[in-house]
Amino acid sequence: MRVLFIDDRKREIEHLIDLSGISRVNEVETYIFVSLDDCLRVVQDFDPTVIMIGYDLSSYPVTGSIVIRMLRDNGITAKIVGNSSGGAVLFENDGVQIEGSTSRCFGRIAELLA
């Protein structure tokens, strides 16, 4: 499985990857959010099976929901999982469909990818 983390918290995401152990059985990449265009390019190049995305991104007013809409509008069909301390509620409040939420919990990451 190819897993891409899209977030703005590099150290936290790397720590989650280490704790969850998902990189032992999956190909894992991280993308620290810069822009929608750059994000789309990274996703198209890596072609992930699963995208783990944070809700709050440092490029205000861009949120994880805006990124998900842009990816879907560009034909990206990867499974999308919210990786946010606010859980799925934040995405649902924006009317965005996600396939699960980890709430930044390393045990939940492994469970969702199993």
Please provide residue 54's backbone torsions phi and psi, each rounded to the nearest 5 degrees: -75, 160
The pLDDT, as a whole number, for residue 88 is: 87
The pairing of beta strand 2-7 with beta strand 79-82: unpaired
Domains of the chain: 2-113 (3.40.50.2300)
- As a whole number, mean pLDDT of residues 40-54 equals 96
What pLDDT, in 10s, does the model give residues 56-103? 888 778 999 999 999 999 999 999 998 887 778 899 999 999 988 887
Other CB atoms closer than 10 Å to residue 111's CB: what's the count?
12
- DSSP for 11-47 reads HHHHHHHHHHTGGGTSEEEEEE---HHHHHHHHHHH-
The pLDDT, as a whole number, for residue 84 is: 82
- As a whole number, mean pLDDT of residues 32-49 equals 96
pLDDT at 104 over 80: no
- Could you give the percent of the chain with pLDDT greater than 70? 89
pLDDT band of residue 4 (cuts 50, 70, 90) is very high
Mean pLDDT of all residues in the chain? Answer: 88
